[in-house]
Amino acid sequence: MSYRAGSNRARNTVLTPEVYDLFARSEAYHDAHLIKPDPVLDAALENAKKQGIEVEVAAAPSQAKFLHLVLLSMRAKRVLEVGTLWGYGAIWMARALPEDGEVVALELDPVSAKVTEENAAAAGVGKKLRVIVGPALTSMQAMEPDPSAPYDLVFIDADKRNDVNYFVQAKRLLRPGGVIVVDNVGRRGRLPDEDCDEPSVIGTRELLKYIKNDPEVEATTIHTVGEKGFDGILFAYVK
Ligand code: DHB
Ligand code: MG
Protein backbone atom coordinates (compact mmCIF):
# COMPACT_ATOMS: atom_id res chain seq x y z
CA MET A 1 0.00 0.00 0.00
CA SER A 2 1.53 3.27 -1.06
CA TYR A 3 -1.04 5.60 0.43
CA ARG A 4 1.28 6.97 3.06
CA ALA A 5 4.35 7.63 0.99
CA GLY A 6 3.76 11.33 0.33
CA SER A 7 3.27 12.62 3.82
CA ASN A 8 5.63 10.18 5.45
CA ARG A 9 8.34 11.37 3.15
CA ALA A 10 7.71 14.87 4.42
CA ARG A 11 7.88 13.63 8.03
CA ASN A 12 11.32 12.17 7.43
CA THR A 13 13.13 15.40 6.68
CA VAL A 14 16.41 13.91 7.87
CA LEU A 15 16.50 11.50 4.91
CA THR A 16 17.45 12.57 1.41
CA PRO A 17 14.72 11.79 -1.15
CA GLU A 18 17.01 9.12 -2.62
CA VAL A 19 17.45 7.33 0.68
CA TYR A 20 13.74 7.62 1.47
CA ASP A 21 12.89 6.11 -1.92
CA LEU A 22 15.37 3.27 -1.36
CA PHE A 23 13.67 2.42 1.95
CA ALA A 24 10.15 2.70 0.53
CA ARG A 25 10.92 0.67 -2.62
CA SER A 26 12.60 -2.10 -0.64
CA GLU A 27 9.67 -2.39 1.73
CA ALA A 28 7.17 -2.32 -1.16
CA TYR A 29 9.10 -5.10 -2.90
CA HIS A 30 8.95 -7.34 0.15
CA ASP A 31 5.31 -6.50 0.85
CA ALA A 32 4.37 -7.37 -2.74
CA HIS A 33 5.55 -10.93 -2.07
CA LEU A 34 4.54 -11.37 1.54
CA ILE A 35 1.32 -9.39 2.08
CA LYS A 36 -1.76 -10.14 0.00
CA PRO A 37 -3.96 -7.42 -1.49
CA ASP A 38 -6.63 -6.62 1.06
CA PRO A 39 -9.78 -4.91 -0.29
CA VAL A 40 -11.34 -4.98 3.19
CA LEU A 41 -8.53 -2.92 4.67
CA ASP A 42 -8.47 -0.66 1.59
CA ALA A 43 -12.16 0.08 2.23
CA ALA A 44 -11.41 0.68 5.92
CA LEU A 45 -8.75 3.20 4.91
CA GLU A 46 -11.20 5.02 2.62
CA ASN A 47 -13.76 5.17 5.41
CA ALA A 48 -11.15 6.66 7.76
CA LYS A 49 -10.03 9.27 5.21
CA LYS A 50 -13.63 10.25 4.50
CA GLN A 51 -14.15 10.93 8.19
CA GLY A 52 -11.04 13.08 8.53
CA ILE A 53 -8.72 10.66 10.35
CA GLU A 54 -4.98 11.29 9.96
CA VAL A 55 -4.46 7.93 8.28
CA GLU A 56 -0.71 8.25 7.70
CA VAL A 57 0.31 7.36 11.23
CA ALA A 58 -1.26 3.90 11.21
CA ALA A 59 1.17 1.01 11.56
CA ALA A 60 2.84 -0.01 8.30
CA PRO A 61 1.45 -3.21 6.71
CA SER A 62 4.71 -5.05 7.42
CA GLN A 63 4.54 -4.15 11.09
CA ALA A 64 0.84 -4.96 11.41
CA LYS A 65 1.54 -8.35 9.87
CA PHE A 66 4.47 -8.83 12.26
CA LEU A 67 2.07 -8.34 15.18
CA HIS A 68 -0.37 -10.77 13.56
CA LEU A 69 2.36 -13.40 13.29
CA VAL A 70 3.56 -12.86 16.86
CA LEU A 71 -0.01 -13.43 18.08
CA LEU A 72 -0.38 -16.58 15.99
CA SER A 73 2.95 -17.89 17.32
CA MET A 74 1.88 -17.26 20.90
CA ARG A 75 -1.59 -18.73 20.33
CA ALA A 76 -2.78 -15.50 21.90
CA LYS A 77 -6.37 -14.91 22.93
CA ARG A 78 -6.41 -11.42 24.37
CA VAL A 79 -4.76 -8.22 23.22
CA LEU A 80 -4.77 -4.69 24.58
CA GLU A 81 -4.10 -1.94 22.06
CA VAL A 82 -3.19 1.53 23.30
CA GLY A 83 -4.23 3.96 20.54
CA THR A 84 -6.13 2.51 17.59
CA LEU A 85 -6.57 5.39 15.10
CA TRP A 86 -8.80 3.71 12.47
CA GLY A 87 -8.43 0.10 13.50
CA TYR A 88 -5.82 -0.94 10.97
CA GLY A 89 -3.51 -2.73 13.41
CA ALA A 90 -6.44 -3.86 15.54
CA ILE A 91 -8.07 -5.65 12.60
CA TRP A 92 -4.79 -7.38 11.70
CA MET A 93 -4.46 -8.47 15.34
CA ALA A 94 -8.10 -9.55 15.72
CA ARG A 95 -7.69 -11.78 12.66
CA ALA A 96 -4.96 -13.69 14.51
CA LEU A 97 -7.19 -14.51 17.48
CA PRO A 98 -9.58 -17.44 17.94
CA GLU A 99 -13.34 -16.83 17.76
CA ASP A 100 -13.50 -16.26 21.51
CA GLY A 101 -10.46 -13.97 21.51
CA GLU A 102 -10.63 -10.22 21.97
CA VAL A 103 -8.75 -7.04 21.13
CA VAL A 104 -9.56 -4.26 23.57
CA ALA A 105 -8.59 -0.97 21.92
CA LEU A 106 -8.15 2.24 23.91
CA GLU A 107 -8.76 5.43 21.95
CA LEU A 108 -8.95 9.09 22.95
CA ASP A 109 -10.76 10.39 19.87
CA PRO A 110 -14.47 9.45 19.64
CA VAL A 111 -14.44 9.76 15.83
CA SER A 112 -11.49 7.35 15.62
CA ALA A 113 -13.32 4.99 17.94
CA LYS A 114 -16.47 5.08 15.81
CA VAL A 115 -14.50 4.57 12.57
CA THR A 116 -12.64 1.66 14.16
CA GLU A 117 -15.90 -0.02 15.18
CA GLU A 118 -17.33 0.47 11.68
CA ASN A 119 -14.16 -0.89 10.08
CA ALA A 120 -14.00 -3.90 12.40
CA ALA A 121 -17.64 -4.77 11.67
CA ALA A 122 -17.07 -4.47 7.91
CA ALA A 123 -13.96 -6.65 8.24
CA GLY A 124 -15.98 -9.36 10.01
CA VAL A 125 -14.13 -9.03 13.32
CA GLY A 126 -16.64 -6.79 15.10
CA LYS A 127 -17.25 -9.42 17.78
CA LYS A 128 -13.53 -9.63 18.52
CA LEU A 129 -12.84 -5.90 18.86
CA ARG A 130 -14.03 -3.67 21.69
CA VAL A 131 -13.14 0.02 21.78
CA ILE A 132 -12.97 2.00 25.01
CA VAL A 133 -13.10 5.77 24.44
CA GLY A 134 -11.12 8.10 26.68
CA PRO A 135 -7.55 8.83 27.79
CA ALA A 136 -5.79 5.46 27.56
CA LEU A 137 -3.87 5.92 30.78
CA THR A 138 -7.05 6.55 32.76
CA SER A 139 -8.68 3.50 31.17
CA MET A 140 -5.67 1.31 31.99
CA GLN A 141 -5.45 2.54 35.57
CA ALA A 142 -9.12 1.63 36.05
CA MET A 143 -8.59 -1.94 34.82
CA GLU A 144 -8.10 -4.79 37.25
CA PRO A 145 -5.91 -7.65 36.04
CA ASP A 146 -8.18 -10.64 35.39
CA PRO A 147 -6.27 -13.83 36.25
CA SER A 148 -8.72 -15.91 34.20
CA ALA A 149 -8.37 -13.69 31.11
CA PRO A 150 -5.11 -11.73 31.23
CA TYR A 151 -3.67 -10.02 28.17
CA ASP A 152 -1.17 -12.03 26.12
CA LEU A 153 0.12 -8.95 24.33
CA VAL A 154 -0.13 -5.18 24.71
CA PHE A 155 0.59 -2.97 21.69
CA ILE A 156 1.47 0.61 22.62
CA ASP A 157 1.01 3.13 19.81
CA ALA A 158 -0.42 6.35 21.23
CA ASP A 159 1.13 9.63 22.47
CA LYS A 160 4.79 8.75 22.77
CA ARG A 161 5.39 11.07 25.74
CA ASN A 162 3.41 8.62 27.90
CA ASP A 163 5.13 5.44 26.72
CA VAL A 164 6.68 4.65 30.09
CA ASN A 165 3.34 5.14 31.87
CA TYR A 166 1.60 2.88 29.37
CA PHE A 167 4.38 0.32 29.73
CA VAL A 168 4.05 0.19 33.53
CA GLN A 169 0.28 -0.31 33.23
CA ALA A 170 0.73 -2.89 30.47
CA LYS A 171 3.00 -4.96 32.73
CA ARG A 172 0.33 -4.92 35.44
CA LEU A 173 -2.36 -6.22 33.08
CA LEU A 174 -0.24 -8.77 31.19
CA ARG A 175 0.05 -12.49 31.86
CA PRO A 176 3.44 -13.81 33.03
CA GLY A 177 5.41 -14.50 29.86
CA GLY A 178 3.39 -11.94 27.94
CA VAL A 179 4.69 -9.52 25.33
CA ILE A 180 4.62 -5.74 25.05
CA VAL A 181 5.32 -4.17 21.65
CA VAL A 182 5.94 -0.41 21.48
CA ASP A 183 5.67 1.33 18.12
CA ASN A 184 7.78 4.21 16.83
CA VAL A 185 10.76 3.99 19.18
CA GLY A 186 13.24 4.87 16.40
CA ARG A 187 12.06 8.47 16.30
CA ARG A 188 14.03 9.19 13.12
CA GLY A 189 17.28 8.50 14.97
CA ARG A 190 16.92 11.45 17.34
CA LEU A 191 17.34 9.70 20.70
CA PRO A 192 21.13 10.15 21.00
CA ASP A 193 20.90 13.87 20.09
CA GLU A 194 21.31 15.51 23.47
CA ASP A 195 19.86 18.78 22.26
CA CYS A 196 16.67 17.14 20.99
CA ASP A 197 13.87 17.84 23.44
CA GLU A 198 10.89 16.69 21.36
CA PRO A 199 8.34 15.29 23.84
CA SER A 200 8.10 12.02 21.90
CA VAL A 201 11.89 11.59 21.99
CA ILE A 202 11.94 12.29 25.72
CA GLY A 203 9.14 9.74 26.16
CA THR A 204 11.08 7.06 24.32
CA ARG A 205 14.30 7.81 26.25
CA GLU A 206 12.38 7.44 29.51
CA LEU A 207 10.98 4.11 28.36
CA LEU A 208 14.43 2.73 27.55
CA LYS A 209 15.81 3.92 30.88
CA TYR A 210 12.92 2.26 32.69
CA ILE A 211 13.43 -1.06 30.91
CA LYS A 212 17.18 -0.96 31.53
CA ASN A 213 16.49 -0.96 35.27
CA ASP A 214 13.64 -3.48 35.27
CA PRO A 215 14.85 -7.03 35.98
CA GLU A 216 11.46 -8.48 34.95
CA VAL A 217 11.76 -7.33 31.33
CA GLU A 218 13.92 -8.54 28.44
CA ALA A 219 13.59 -6.37 25.36
CA THR A 220 15.10 -5.49 22.03
CA THR A 221 14.50 -2.79 19.44
CA ILE A 222 14.04 -3.81 15.83
CA HIS A 223 14.94 -0.80 13.73
CA THR A 224 12.73 -0.47 10.69
CA VAL A 225 13.05 1.25 7.33
CA GLY A 226 10.36 1.63 4.71
CA GLU A 227 7.63 3.95 3.56
CA LYS A 228 7.61 5.47 7.05
CA GLY A 229 11.29 6.34 6.78
CA PHE A 230 13.56 5.37 9.67
CA ASP A 231 11.87 4.11 12.81
CA GLY A 232 11.78 1.09 15.13
CA ILE A 233 9.60 -1.16 17.22
CA LEU A 234 10.46 -2.41 20.67
CA PHE A 235 9.66 -6.01 21.56
CA ALA A 236 9.56 -6.76 25.29
CA TYR A 237 9.12 -10.11 27.02
CA VAL A 238 7.82 -9.80 30.57
CA LYS A 239 8.85 -12.65 32.87
C1 DHB B 1 3.75 9.05 14.34
C2 DHB B 1 3.01 8.28 15.21
C3 DHB B 1 2.82 6.95 14.97
O4 DHB B 1 2.13 6.14 15.81
C5 DHB B 1 3.38 6.36 13.84
O6 DHB B 1 3.21 5.03 13.67
C7 DHB B 1 4.13 7.11 12.96
C8 DHB B 1 4.30 8.47 13.22
C9 DHB B 1 3.94 10.47 14.62
O10 DHB B 1 3.49 10.94 15.65
O11 DHB B 1 4.54 11.15 13.80
MG1 MG C 1 2.61 4.11 15.45
Q: Residue 122 has what pLDDT?
A: 98
Please state, for a pLDDT cut of 90, what percent of the chain lies above it.
89
Expressed in angstroms and rounded, the spacing between residue 157 Cα and the centre of ligand 1 is 8
- For residue 177, give the nearest of 73, 84, 65 by alpha carbon: 73
Candidate of 8, 55, 57 to mutate for ligand 1, largest count of ligand atoms within 8 Å of Cβ: 57
Q: Whose CA is nearest to atom 1 of ligand 1?
A: 57
| pLDDT digit string, tens, across residues 26-80 | 999 999 999 999 999 999 999 999 999 999 888 999 999 999 999 999 999 999 9
Question: Which atom of ligand 1 has the smallest separation from the CA of 11?
Answer: 11
With both helix axes pointing from N to C terminus, report the angle between 61-74 and 17-34 in degrees, rounded to the nearest 10: 40
State which residues have CB under 5 angstroms from ligand 2, the bound ion: 157, 183-184
- Please choose, from the candidates 216, 118, 203, 213, the residue with its C-alpha nearest in 3D space to the C-alpha of residue 174: 216
Strands, E, within 58-150: which ranges?
78-82, 102-107, 129-133
> What is the CA 83 to chain-centroid distance, rounded?
8
| pTM for the predicted model, two decimal places | 0.95
- pLDDT averaged over every residue in the chain: 94
Pocket of ligand 1 (CB under 6 A): 11, 57, 59, 157, 183-184, 228
**Which tens digit of pLDDT belongs to each residue from 94-121?**
999 999 999 999 999 999 999 999 999 9
Other residues' Cβ atoms within 10 Å of the Cβ of residue 76: 22
What local confidence, expressed as pLDDT, does residue 57 receive? 86
